[in-house]
Amino acid sequence: MARISLSNNLKPYTGGETEIELEVGNVRQLFRALGERYPDLAPQLEFELAVAIDGVIYQDSLLAPIGSDSEVLLFSKIAGG
Amino acid sequence: MGKHRVMATVNGDAVEFLCETGQTLLEALRDELQLSGTKEGCGTGDCGACSVMLDGRLVCSCLVLGVEAQGKTIHTIEGMAKGEQLHPLQRKFLEHAALQCGICTPGMLISARALLERNPDPTEEQVRYGLAGNLCRCTGYHKIVEAVLDAAREMRGA
Amino acid sequence: MSTTVMYEEKPLKVVGTRPLRPDGVDKVTGRARYAADYNLPGQLIGKVLRSPHAHARIKSIDTSRAEALPGVKAVVTRDDFPDMQTEYAAAGELTINFRDVTRNMMAREKVLYDGHPVAAVAALSASIARAALGLIKVEYEVLPHVIDVVEAMKPDAPLLHEHQFTDGVTPKPERPSNLAKRMVFARGSLDEGFKQADLIIEREFNTKPVHQGYIEPQACIATYTEDGQAEVWTGTQGHFVFRAQLAKVLEMDVSKIRVTATELGGGFGGKNNIYNEPLAIALSRKSHRPVKMVMTREEVFRATGPTSGANVKVKLGCTRDGRITAADAELNFQAGAFAGSSVAMASMCAFTRYDLENVRVVGHDVTVNRPKVAAYRAPGAPIAVFGVESVIDEMAEKLGIDPIELRLRNAAKEGTQTYYGPKFGPIGFIETLHRAKAHPKYRAPLGPNQGRGIATGFWFNIGKETSSALHINEDGTATLIMGTVDVAGGSRAAMAMMVAEELGIAYDKVRPVIGDTSALGFNFITAGSRGTFAGGMAAVLAARDAIEKMRRRVARIREVPLEAVAWKDGRGQPAEGGGAQFKPMTLQEIARDAGKTGGTISGHSEINAEGAGPGFGTHIADVEVDRQTGLIKIVRYTIVQDVGKAIHPAYVEGQFEGGAVQGIGWALNEEYVYGADGVLQNPGFLDYRVPVASDVPFIDSVIVEVPNPNHPYGVRGCGEVPIIAPMAAISNAVQNAIGVRLREQPMSPPRVLKAIEAAAGAGAQV
């Protein structure tokens, strides 16, 4: 099971939960699972969150693979001007 | 609302164009003579992007009416290079990377040339004040001032 | 597939030198064509009617007299555009809501700021179009307005959007609010942290909105033909993103819209959003002629996004020897008429330069009756950092610790856990602090009323979707088609340099061209300091793809196995230990016969560039304050910044110098001035005072290079970091000079004088 951490600022959308374990193979499956578990989080998943898998940061990479003992972190995307 | 016929000399060529009473020289140059090198940044004489020489005087062409050009001699950026030969200021701007987006560059070059004609050996401060009427948002002016000082050196034969 | 290409240390021939930029000659001769320089046969001129009120309901719009004016060919209003549901898409720096996009480009139920578009006309000439605007009758019901962010958050403030309920608050609120979103980034325990502190400082700061100030006003020219195809030429930082937004708001297929990015006269984040483009297309559709629309400078100020003005509260606690134990901030950002300011990014980078255990940043995104904000170079960061770096400076002063030393004691480094998410990989913050401390300007003697201030900046930098194609021409030269718009920093040159380095040919044999939207796959906007990073990665991969194909070609022609062919110095030659020997073939030789040996050789890449490296900078500002006029003069300014790798050092310096001077303008004089009626009073360069050449000295640039391991040349991107530190550096310098701390920006002469008088009156530090 991959260990999923959500950054603190996402607490209002997950009822305060920030650490869970999920069996998912890639980012798209992760988003689907999170969206089902936390409906309030769903609107942000595809466009506002970046993902770090075992220390490597991905933005907009739905097929990035997640291993069975990966550490995954979700946090807000950034951009620029 | 008929148009006026204006005859003038631009970059050494005799030209003739039609313009409305309210059209500026800037609009006449760009829209009637297709000389789009002179730019509009503000339309109110505050940015210098429209700088041209009018009878030997540096002016903001957005503050001059098209009809005022009648019988006058105008120099724009298009006349700065002599055929294949770039003016030393143009060359120095390239060498010193004194431009980024380039929109202020035509006006800046016209003003710089006018400055060096008045004062061939300016100090850094004189260059900065001499170009204070030309806004640049990309470069912070650093490489522009370096380029002008270097061009002045070359033009003095130093 | 997301892509990272690892950094390889190797000797370089082209990268790191200073050749001339390919777009240079056109720019110094006036030949370069910006959007307003384009004309199409039969074109009409389009103009926009704008709201004179800060907040009003639109009761009716009567365009009949305008339509009847001879020479007017089309008029459009909200009735000509479909309404949009709330739908979010990543576009530009912030997620955008299409329901808001369509309302910002043309008001529907209400006008929400002075300058909000209400109608547009296309006519045979500009003067006829302007006359037509005067014939459009709009009936308004004027409503009370609010422009101050703190006022707008109060429960009885005039409400902009009846459907807007604060996001991020539990339980879900029942009453709508101007507070669109609240966010909290936190780590550890503030209570614990403040308990450990020997010194606690709590301060409040206010900044004003400032405009990106590009000298080129927005301009576009559009055609819509009877077969439903639209073509647009416009000044944009992202033509693919514009195409996507246009397709959405006009309900057209993406493939039916072709956008060409014209030479850009400055963007800085402000040209990531559509404004006149959809109006021009709609007018062209109605009039059956091309329509050209050029904004006046006044329109640029009234209606295109500035950055947010803000109210910032910072509370820091530290030990006697300067170790920060707790950091708390509240950022209240104006979003303008529609939600979506940069407060999230500002929250994420407020304290990120430091290794902190106990942090909380609360961010509020607040709608007010001002134009919708747009990104501006490191969006949000300068505002948050102004507050934080000022308080850190106060700490250093009170503890008697050198300001750079204090920052060193808390500096983030490789492995530091950020409070917004990931850990840092290799970064160069500490290097910049050391280099600043060792710089001779740090010890330059200071005269009376002169002072020195330090501040630091950090930006994440990004990668994202990028495509590139490289064609080897029949004479052995190469053409690189890029999709990342060159927003003037010189990225065209940098790409060409990297490609030349890869291929092993001379820089002037590579011609970089920005392709229009029909030439390449999707490219994200040029922003986030991604141009050279992501564009470069794509260009390098396209070059490596072409090299791979050339190796195959050599193997076939020389009848040797592929492994026997190596690419070096511009030619396919026998690989060491590869087995086979053969006569090498140069790129020119391969190219000359390519058509007859299998076809033209082209390489391409379509990637989502990952692995962007964060950038850090340390600034030293020396100022002199005139106590009688309140004028602040910048005496010296030094920038030390880690860029990973400077592909073209002069262009990196250009980013440092340009970004810092924008920050100086933000600090000294730029601000929007509104009347009590909510109407903008200074929409022009006379009273919106940007720095001129005589306002600033030469800037000392020190380029630090701690390579980004995730880019083939170690590039981090550098365009945004330079604007972040100046407000704080200058304010800290003023304190150092005359013992007066300014917490309101800009520090214009009247404000400085007032602060000096207040300090003298109070007999104590303000």
Angle (CA) B121 B124 B128, round 5°: 110
Query: Domain locations in chain C?
Result: 2-32+462-609, 380-461+613-762
B63 touches chain C (CB under 8 A): no
- Name which of B55-64, C261-270, C480-489 the model is least confident about: C480-489
Q: B131 to chain C: nearest residue by CA?
A: C693
What is residue B78's predicted lDDT score, i.e. its pLDDT?
Answer: 98
Q: Which residues of C touch A48 (CB under 8 A)?
A: 88, 90, 95
Helices B142-155 and C649-668 meet at what angle, rounded to 10?
120
* Residue B158 confidence (pLDDT): 64
Least confident of B142-146, C20-24, C435-439, C443-447: C20-24
CB contact under 8 A, B97 and C693: no
Both tokens of C33, joined, read 């064509």
pLDDT in tens, B5-22: 999 999 999 999 999 999
Question: Would an 8 Å CB–CB cutoff place B88 in contact with chain C?
Answer: no
pLDDT tens-digit map of A38-56 = 998 988 887 778 888 887 7
Mean pLDDT (whole number) for C600-607: 91
Among chain C residues, CA nearest to B23: C127
In Å, how far are C327, C414, C417 from C355, measured between CA atoms? 11, 10, 7
User: Are A60 and C89 inside 8 Å of each other by CB?
Assistant: no
pLDDT of residue C284: 98
pLDDT digits (tens, 9 = 90+) for B46-64: 999 999 999 999 999 999 9
| Contact flag C693-B127 (C-beta cutoff 8 Å) | yes
Surface of A (59-78) touching C: CB under 8 A: 59-61, 63-64, 73-78
A23 CA: distance to closest CA in chain C (Å):
21
**A–C contact (≥3 CB pairs within 8 Å)?**
yes
Domain A2-76 has CATH 3.10.20.30: yes
More confident position, C414 or C533: C414
Look up the CATH number of domain C380-461+613-762: 3.30.365.10
| More confident position, C722 or C17 | C722
- Mutation to test the A interface, candidates C190, C307, C427, C610, most A Cβ within 10 Å: C610
Model pLDDT for residues B98-154, shown as the tens digit of each residue:
999 999 999 999 999 999 999 999 999 999 999 999 999 999 999 999 999 999 999
Min Cα distance C27 → chain B (Å) is 5
CA distance linking residue C190 with residue C196, whole number of Å: 10
CB-nearest partner of B42 from C28, C294, C685? C685
Whether residues C462 and A11 touch (CB distance < 8 A) is answered with no
> How many beta-carbon pairs under 8 angstroms link B with C?
177
C2 contacts A61? CB cut-off 8 A: yes
Residue C527: pLDDT over 80 = no
Q: What is the nearest CA distance from A75 to chain C, expressed in angstroms?
A: 5
Cα torsion angle, C254, C255, C256, C262, sign: positive
Chain B residues with CB under 8 Å of C28 CB are: 86, 90, 93-94, 99, 102, 105, 109
CB-based contact A61 C527, cutoff 8 Å: no
**End-to-end CA distance of chain B, in Å?**
56
Domain ranges of chain A: 2-76
Query: What pLDDT does A61 receive?
Result: 81
The ipTM is 0.97
Four-residue CA torsion sign, C237, C240, C241, C247: positive
Contact C28 B86 (CB under 8 A): yes
Tokens of C115: 């300058």
* Site from C182, C364, C608 to mutate, A interface, most A CB atoms within 10 angstroms: C608
B77 in Cβ contact with C71 (< 8 Å)? no
Say if CB C484 and CB C535 are below 8 A apart.
yes
Which pLDDT value is given to residue A14?
Answer: 92
Contact A58 C376 (CB under 8 A): no
Write down the pLDDT at residue C459: 93
The predicted structure's pLDDT at residue C95: 62
Distance to chain A for C733, nearest Cα, Å: 27
Same fold, C2-32+462-609 and C380-461+613-762: yes
Separation of alpha carbons C472 and C243, rounded Å: 29
User: Cis omega (within 30 of 0) on the bond before C746?
Assistant: yes
Contacts of C695 (CB under 8 A, 6+ apart): C634, C664, C665, C668
Give pLDDT tens digits for C105-120: 999 999 999 999 999 9
CA distance C561 to chain B (A): 46
Give C764: exposed, middle or buried? Use CB within 10 Å, 0-12, 13-18, 19+. exposed
| pLDDT string in tens for chain A (81-residue length) | 999 999 888 999 999 999 999 999 999 999 999 999 999 898 888 777 888 888 778 877 888 899 998 999 998 887 655
C128 touches chain B (CB under 8 A): no
Class of domain C2-32+462-609: alpha beta
Strand segments, DSSP code E, in C692-731 are: 699-704
Average pLDDT over residues C727-732: 98
Q: Which residue of A has its CA nearest to C307?
A: A81
Total-model pTM: 0.94
Paired sense of beta strands C478-482 and C464-472, if any: antiparallel
Reported as a pLDDT band with limits 50, 70 and 90, residue C1 is very low
Task: Among C28, C691, C699, select the one facing B99 at the smallest CB separation.
Answer: C28
Question: Tokens representing C161?
Answer: 């959007």
Q: How many CB atoms lie within 10 A of CB C254?
A: 14
Is the CB of residue B143 less than 8 Å from the CB of residue B97? yes
Domains of chain B by start residue, with CATH: 4-79 (3.10.20.30), 88-155 (1.10.150.120)
Confidence of residue C761 (pLDDT cuts 50, 70, 90): confident
